[in-house]
Every structure is written in C-alpha cells, then in structure tokens.
C-alpha cells in the first residue's frame, strides 16, 4: 500500500502546495427460459454494472431455477467476465468478489475453457492505477507473466469456442503486448453481437472513441467507457474531467477514475477538487 499512499499523498501535497486564496447494436436474445432470458439480457449489455446485476439476479433466483442449464451457463459467463473486468479497471476487492468467484468455480463445466480462463484471470494483475503498484504486485502470483503468456498461447487456438474465451484472449494480448491481437478483426466479426467484445476491442491500445461513444449512447450505464474516453482526452492534451466524474459517479469504487480526476484537477489548478478526489480514493482504499 505504501506506493499508492505515496502517490495519493503527492497529489494532495501538490494540491495543497499550489492553493491560492459505429453504434453497437443490441440484438434480441433467443428465449430459452424466463430466468435465462433475463440474465442473458444483462450479460449481453456487457457493462460492469450489467454483469454485477446479472449475478445479483442469479443469486435471488430459487434453487430450482438456478439449476437450469441455460441459467447456470449464463451466470458462469457473467462471473468470469466480471472478475476480469474488475482487474482491468483496478476495482479494489470487496466482500462481493468471493461470491462472484464461487459462481465461477461452481459452474465451470457450463462454459468452454472456463478452468483455463479462470487460471488466467487469477494470474491477471490488478490495474495499479486503482490500487497502487505495491498492492497490485502483492496480489499478483509469482511468474504471473509466464502464466498469462501460456494462457494466451492456448487461447489463440480456442477463442472461437465462446465469448468468454475470446474476451480473455483479447485482454491477455492487450496487457502483455500493449496491442490488439492479429486476429482482432476476425474476433470482432465473429462476436459482432457481443457488446463485451466490442468494448474490449475499443479499449485495446489507443481508445476507439467512436465505438466507445456508441456504447454509451446504446447503454448510458457503460461507465467504464467514459473512463477510457477521459484517458483519450488527456492523451490528446484535452480535459477528461467530465468523463472521469461520470465514471466515478456510476461506479463508486472505481478508484482509477477518481485518481485520474485528481491528476486532471491538478493539471487544471483546481486544487480543491484535486484534494477531494484524492481523499475519496483513500476512503475506498485506506
């Protein structure tokens, strides 16, 4: 935690020291059962909150409905996608993570490559911007890069097996090589109806702003898209404050968005906002 505290502290000191007085379409889901349809709709929407809501819906179902094959498979997809999205965004762990992981493990047989994908997700490091480099390093397994490369190598031949395999493969290559995989166009085409895949493709490497804006138009709850639009604005020497604010307001534990807001406020010499943003982060990750 030391490095993260130092980062936030340096922002606070900077604030204090300077103070002066192609739209993504939403296609219909084939109805197999009412519970499966409800869950599939949320998973299809693909956003962080959508995936979280899908698992909340699943948990509230009677045991008999949770055991339906379609429902089990959809809950497994939601759990795996949510686990890796949390790490990509640097969302700090909370009490809900254990429940999500429990769903992912108990339903592993329902989704192709689930065990392989779960091993890759376990090795995948948290986005250090949200939790600090030291915390991210402590959470990473020894030789995690080797595990990730091995998983990417295997999934290079298996991404056609399903949406989750393709999504995790995209994430692994993006993180390992800071670029999209050579198969990106083929993946996007094959999973044209997967909002999650379209989102991940738009955030791999340089942000695809038109696609991210289209996601937000189709689904205003896609708050992580706002975060990447904010980073893209900063990279273009523009102001990403509004994007970071919406991302933080939408996902209250999205500390990476709040840190980005603090940095932007410092650049703008808005020292009071800078201080508030840094303190908000410390409340989530003391």
Give per-residue pLDDT as tens, 3-51: 554 455 455 455 555 444 444 444 443 445 576 788 889 999 999 999 9
**Low-confidence winner among 4-8, 68-72, 199-203 (lowest mean pLDDT):** 4-8
Residue 24 maps to a domain = no
**What local confidence, expressed as pLDDT, does residue 143 receive?**
75
**What local confidence, expressed as pLDDT, does residue 26 receive?**
45
Residues of the domain holding 238: 2-16+31-284
Average pLDDT over the chain reads: 87
- Tell me: pLDDT of 2 over 80: no
Residue 44 maps to a domain = yes
Reported as type and span, the H/E element at residue 241 is helix 241-250
Please indicate, yes or no, whether the overall pTM of this predicted structure exceeds 0.85. yes
Residue 83 maps to a domain = yes
Residue 237 maps to a domain = yes
CA–CA distances in Å: residue 208 to residues 68, 144, 168:
38, 28, 19
Residue 67 maps to a domain = yes
In tens, the pLDDT along 129-145 reads: 866 655 555 555 567 89
Mean pLDDT throughout 136-159?
82
As for how many domains the chain has, the answer is 1
DSSP 110: G
Chain-centroid distance of CA 50 in Å reads 11
Residue 26 maps to a domain = no
**What local confidence, expressed as pLDDT, does residue 108 receive?**
78
Residue 25 maps to a domain = no
What is the C-alpha separation between 233 and 157, in angstroms, rounded? 35
- Tell me: pLDDT of 118 over 60: yes
Residue 171 maps to a domain = yes
* Residue 160 φ/ψ region, left for φ over 0, alpha for ψ in the -120 to 50 degree band, beta for the rest: alpha
**What local confidence, expressed as pLDDT, does residue 33 receive?**
58
């Amino acid at each position: 935690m030391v490095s993260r505290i130092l980062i936030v502290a340096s922002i606070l000191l900077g604030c204090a020291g300077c103070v002066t007085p192609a739209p993504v379409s939403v296609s219909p889901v084939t109805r197999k059962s009412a519970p499966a349809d409800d869950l599939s709709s949320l998973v299809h929407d693909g956003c962080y909150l959508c995936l979280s809501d899908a698992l909340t819906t699943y948990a509230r179902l009677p045991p008999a409905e949770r055991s339906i094959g379609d429902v089990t498979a959809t809950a497994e997809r939601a759990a795996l996608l949510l686990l890796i999205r949390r790490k990509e965004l640097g969302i700090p762990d909370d009490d809900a993570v254990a429940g999500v992981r429990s769903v992912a493990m108990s339903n592993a047989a329902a989704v192709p490559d689930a065990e392989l994908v779960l091993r890759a997700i376990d090795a995948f490091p948290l986005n250090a911007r949200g939790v600090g480099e030291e915390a991210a390093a402590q959470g990473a397994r020894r030789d995690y890069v080797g595990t990730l490369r091995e998983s990417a190598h295997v999934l290079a031949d298996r991404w056609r097996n399903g949406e989750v395999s393709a999504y995790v493969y995209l994430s692994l290559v993006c993180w390992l090589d800071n670029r999209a995989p050579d198969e990106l166009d083929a993946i996007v085409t094959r999973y044209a109806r997967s909002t999650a895949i379209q989102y991940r493709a738009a955030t791999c490497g340089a942000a695809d702003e038109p696609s991210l804006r289209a996601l937000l138009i189709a689904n205003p709850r896609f708050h992580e898209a706002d975060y990447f639009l904010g980073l893209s604005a900063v990279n273009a020497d523009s102001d990403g404050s509004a994007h970071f604010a919406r991302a933080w307001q939408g996902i209250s534990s999205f500390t990476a968005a709040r840190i980005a807001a603090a940095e932007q406020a410092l650049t703008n010499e808005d020292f009071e906002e800078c201080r508030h943003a840094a303190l908000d982060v410390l409340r989530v990750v003391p």
